[in-house]
Amino acid sequence: MRILLVEDDVPLGEATTRALRSQQWAVDWTRFGESVTNMVSLASYDIIILDVGLPGVDGFEILRSLRARSESLPILMLTARDAVEDRVHGFELGADDYLVKPFAFRELAARIQALTRRSHARQHNEILLGTLRMDLTAKRAYLNEKPLELLPREWAVLEYILNNVGKVVSKEQILEAISGWDEAPSSSAIEVYISRLRTKLTPAGISIRTIRGFGYLAEEPVNEIQP
């Protein structure tokens, strides 16, 4: 795996680079946001770890620029900002995940592995989260490789949420995503589907959190983080 780390804090950049390389991952580290576009065009990266608070061109601007160029590689944002509004802004621009400083390296490593695994799964038309696997071609879901029974609209809601894992999605966005059905569900029906999905996903340790005033958020199970 080849990683691009964009971090202007020298001690943190050095420590993170050493830790990532200890996992036998190739790491290119730059302190300057202005160099990212050129580096991405010259090398093939599996993931970008991008600090938000960079001098000059900040992480949000770099993220916007990369997504405008249709760069689809996973981007993990590092930030000292823990406000929901900042996270939502980053996700709207195309971030795949967020990690708030200070962070434990094992959590960073687990998130990198999860993001790159999901990216690989998308190439094979699958969605992976913890022990959950959704085969988008066969329209089948599995928990620990055992079939998970989902009603058609439960499948549609879950597919949309997991395509946006780590991001807050509103009821309106979910409704719009599944509005191709003959009869569009109501906002209250979405709450029912979410409740059913929570029950069915409990054995996998997967939670769909309610973010008051914003919507729903699915995150990597805690047991994704390994020593």
Do the domains 2-123 and 126-224 sit in the same CATH topology, yes or no? no
pLDDT at 138: 85
What is the spatial distance between Cα 35 and Cα 55, in angstroms, rounded to a whole number? Answer: 12
pLDDT at 43: 82
Give me the residue spans of the domains in the chain. Answer: 2-123, 126-224
pLDDT tens sequence across 24-56: 898 999 999 888 988 998 888 889 999 998 888
Q: In what order do the strands lie in the sheet with 132-135?
A: 126-129, 132-135, 140-143, 146-148
Instruction: Please state the CATH superfamily assignment of the domain spanning residues 2-123 in this structure.
Output: Response regulator (3.40.50.2300)
Where the chain has pLDDT below 50, the residues are 181, 223-227
CATH class of 126-224: mainly alpha
Closest alpha carbon to 194 in 159, 160, 157, 163: 157
pLDDT at 87: 80
pTM above 0.85, yes or no: no
Whether the ω angle into residue 203 lies within 30 degrees of 0, i.e. cis, is: no
**Cβ within 8 Å of residue 171, ≥6 positions away:** 187, 190, 191, 215, 216
Closest alpha carbon to 122 in 72, 82, 85: 72
